[in-house]
């Protein structure tokens, strides 16, 4: 099923009007969503994803439409905490170009208020990560030193990144079921 950007804008509005929804995981895999949809979820005045711990946007087109790294950096530099509660963001399989990914990684490195609780960033299966260089490696390594260490997952074991995404999903599900890491509760 393809939800489309407009449906996600409506979803974001509904979530923003009900910040105590209890939503823990939002999986929008394979809906051909663009950066506009991702921006509508991440960049609202009210915290659309207030209770959400995991956002999966695998296999979409978030590199088209709104340029999310620039918008995130602008929002964070204005003093707002951006998605303060989000712990896992998977934007793998989106054919993101290296400059897009590099700008996002630099923003995360330079702006502590950008995803301050993020523990895992999934980038596997993106064209821009297939030729990661020393600059990318250095930024990824530095992100381990954030107040909340950030694990950037982009190297898959001979696949297109789906195995890594599935492993993270299984771990998060186990954490939620077992109440580990303080993220207990139901989805």
> What pLDDT score does 33 carry?
96
Cross-strand bridge partners of residue 152:
121
Cα–Cα distance, 163 to 168 (Å, whole number): 9
Cα–Cα distance, 154 to 38 (Å, whole number): 19
HEC letters along the chain: CCCHHHHHHHHHHHHHHCCCCCCCEEECCCCCCEHHHHHHHHCCCCCCCCCCCEEECCCCECCCCCCHHHHHHHHHHCCCCECCCCCEEECCCCCCCHHHHHHHHHHHHHCCCECCCCCEEECCCCHHHCCCCHHHHHHHHHHHHCCCCCEEECCCCCCCCHHHHHHHHHHHHHHHHHCHHHCCCCC
Low-confidence ranges of the chain (pLDDT < 50): 159-163, 180-187
**What percent of the chain clears pLDDT 90, i.e. is strictly above it?**
48
Cα–Cα distance, 86 to 166 (Å, whole number): 18
> What pLDDT score does 140 carry?
92
> What pLDDT score does 93 carry?
94
How far is residue 159 CA from its own chain's centroid? 20
Based on its alpha-carbon atoms, the radius of gyration of the chain, rounded to whole angstroms, reads: 15
> What pLDDT score does 187 carry?
39
pTM of the predicted protein model: 0.80
Helix axes 68-77, 35-42, angle to 10 degrees: 20
> What pLDDT score does 104 carry?
95
Cα–Cα distance, 148 to 171 (Å, whole number): 18
What confidence tens digit (pLDDT) does each residue in 132-167 have?
788 888 999 999 998 899 999 987 555 444 445 555
């Amino acid at each position: 099923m393809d939800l489309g950007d407009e449906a996600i804008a409506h979803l974001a509005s509904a979530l923003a009007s009900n910040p105590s929804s209890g939503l823990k995981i939002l999986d929008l895999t394979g809906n051909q969503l663009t950066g506009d949809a991702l921006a509508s979820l991440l960049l609202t005045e009210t915290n659309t994803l207030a209770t959400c711990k995991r956002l999966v946007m695998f296999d979409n087109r978030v590199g088209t439409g709104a340029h999310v790294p620039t918008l995130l950096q602008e929002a964070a530099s204005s003093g707002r905490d951006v998605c303060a509660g989000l712990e896992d963001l998977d934007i793998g399989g989106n054919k993101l170009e290296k400059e897009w990914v590099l700008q996002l990684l630099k923003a995360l490195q330079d702006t502590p208020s950008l995803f301050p609780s993020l523990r895992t960033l999934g980038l596997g299966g993106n064209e821009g990560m297939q030729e990661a260089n020393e600059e990318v490696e250095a930024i990824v390594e530095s992100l381990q030193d954030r107040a909340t260490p950030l694990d950037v997952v982009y190297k898959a074991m001979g696949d297109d990144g789906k195995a890594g995404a599935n492993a993270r999903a299984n771990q998060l599900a186990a954490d939620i079921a077992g109440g580990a890491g303080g993220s207990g509760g139901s989805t």
